Amino acid sequence: MKPSVTPAQARRIADDVSRVVARTPVTDIHTHLYAPVFRDLLLWGLDELLVYHYLVAEAFRYLDMPYEEFWALPKSRQAELIWDALFIQNSPVSEACRGVLTTLQHLGLDVKKRDLGALRKWFAQWKPDDYVTRCMEVAGLGSIFMTNSPFDDLERPVWERGFKGDNRFQTALRIDPLLVAWKDTAPKLAAWGYQVRPDFSAKTISEVRRFLAAWTRRMGARYVMVSLPPDFEYPGRGDFAQLVEKAVLPHCREFGQPLALMPGVRRQANPQLRLAGDGVGLSNLVSLQNLCAAHPGNKFACTALARENQHELCVLARKFRNLHIFGCWWFTNVPSLIEEITRLRLELIGLSVTPQHSDARVLDQIIYKWQHSKQVIARVLTDKYCDLAATGWEVTPQELQRDVQNLFGGAFEKFLRG
Ligand code: RAT
Ligand code: ZN
């Protein structure tokens, strides 16, 4: 007789999955957050939540003031304008707006009164260090990966002074300027004492490797990362292909680091929006296929920005075990697409994936980004376990725990170590 899932059994599976998803600590493998010793680089609090670049882009759909006038205002005034446009004049239904409310709600605040002043007062009582711990608790995070750039003039001095570490945070070496703006970056490296020229002579390459090795050691970086335009090319005679092949991949092999690629961003589609001005394009993932095929001794991680790239990316992961796919990035970090993409991934590559990262730029955002994603991930997992139960295969509590741990950082950790 063919077993089928009764409504009671389905409810039990849903409850078990929700419970395990809620209590399993997550490793957030890509954020723009910093440990508190990085001081002003760690953004947190209500005004930062409101001036998040996702909300700036949305607010300008309604604002008619010139861009420059907006940017000249103090942050608190910008926050008030965004609050008024996106929460008061219109209902805050977008994912980024809803996120602010979810965050406030989970911090125990009353959003009903729409009282910006009272909400601001609550945030003013916190010290950053305690607040990091509090937000991680509420979000259910065990560990946060920073994005660490030696090219960031505010961040570099902190490393040069010596950062002793913070056991809540891990590090990732971000190298966009090296790979996407080599002509501007070579003189910088030269000024920092690396004997590089714009060419790719053996000397230049060994100096780029010396730079990568020094920063990997200084940061204790666990992987190397770059975001890329849709038309990135590999192999090729371009700077990206040359540098990746000759310097970055040998470096990654030496240090056992994956290279995380984030293709699909069209930087500064509208420069007047500043950080909010980047767009999306369909990526040429044949270049990723070429990288994975030509370098089986390297590990690659990838998240693609375009929805239309997600199926091809899953198929690539089926072909190449040196490819780990992760996250629903930026414009795909909305519930409808998280659901679609997570289902697709589980159906095509099972549990050897990291379905989400937060990309939080403001500490408090980890609360909503994980709350919303966990809801969707739990729903998808429940459906999959119900499909299994219909065959007579019941997932044990230990198996459920193992699966969720893998999705929430375990699979990525194994990939890092492998
Ligand atoms: O999602 C974002 O906040 C973007 O602005 C980018 O930072 C992107 O995530 C990236 O890492 O380039
Ligand atoms: Zn990011």
For 47, the token pair is 């005004």
Q: Residue type at 135?
A: C
Ligand nearest to the CA of 176: 1
- 45 — phi, psi (to 5°)? 100, 170
Distance CA 227, CA 242 (A): 17
CB 292 within 8 A of CB 316: yes
Give the residue carrying structure tokens 């882009």.
57
- 28, 30, 32, best to mutate for ligand 1 pocket (most atoms within 8 Å of CB): 32
Give residues with Cβ within 8 angstroms of 207, minimum separation 6: 189, 194, 195, 196
Distance CA 28, CA 360 (A): 9
The residue whose CA is least distant from atom 1 of ligand 1 is 330
Distance CA 305, CA 359 (A): 12
Ligand nearest to the CA of 275: 1
Nearest atom in ligand 1 to 265's CA: 12
Nearest atom in ligand 1 to 227's CA: 12
CB 363 within 8 A of CB 135: yes
Neighbours of ion ligand 2 (CB under 5 A): 359
Residues having CB within 6 Å of any atom of ligand 1: 32, 227, 330, 359, 361
CA of 4 to the centre of ligand 2 (A): 43
Residues 234-243: b if buried by 16+ CB within 10 A, e if exposed: beeeebbbbb
Radius of gyration in angstroms for the set of CA atoms belonging to the chain, rounded to a whole number: 22
49-84 pLDDT per residue, tens: 999 999 999 999 999 999 999 999 999 999 999 999
Ligand nearest to the CA of 333: 1
The residue whose CA is least distant from atom 12 of ligand 1 is 227
The residue whose CA is least distant from atom 10 of ligand 1 is 227
Nearest atom in ligand 1 to 225's CA: 11
- The distance between the two most distant Cα atoms of the chain, rounded to a whole number of Å, is 75
Distance CA 249, CA 254 (A): 9
The residue whose CA is least distant from atom 9 of ligand 1 is 359
Nearest atom in ligand 1 to 54's CA: 3
CA of 359 to the centre of ligand 2 (A): 5
CA of 93 to the centre of ligand 2 (A): 23
The residue whose CA is least distant from atom 4 of ligand 1 is 330
For 217, the token pair is 């050691």
The residue whose CA is least distant from atom 5 of ligand 1 is 275
Q: Residue type at 353?
A: V
Ligand nearest to the CA of 330: 1
Q: pLDDT per position in the chain (418 positions), as tens?
A: 556 899 999 999 999 999 999 999 999 999 999 999 999 999 999 999 999 999 999 999 999 999 999 999 999 999 999 999 999 999 999 999 999 999 999 999 999 999 999 999 999 999 999 999 999 999 999 999 999 999 999 999 999 999 999 999 999 999 999 999 999 999 999 999 999 998 999 999 999 999 999 999 999 999 999 999 999 999 999 999 999 999 999 999 999 999 999 999 999 999 999 999 999 999 999 999 999 999 999 999 999 999 999 999 999 999 999 999 999 999 999 999 999 999 999 999 999 999 999 999 999 999 999 999 999 999 999 999 999 999 999 999 999 999 999 999 999 999 999 9
CA of 330 to the centre of ligand 1 (A): 7
Ligand nearest to the CA of 280: 1
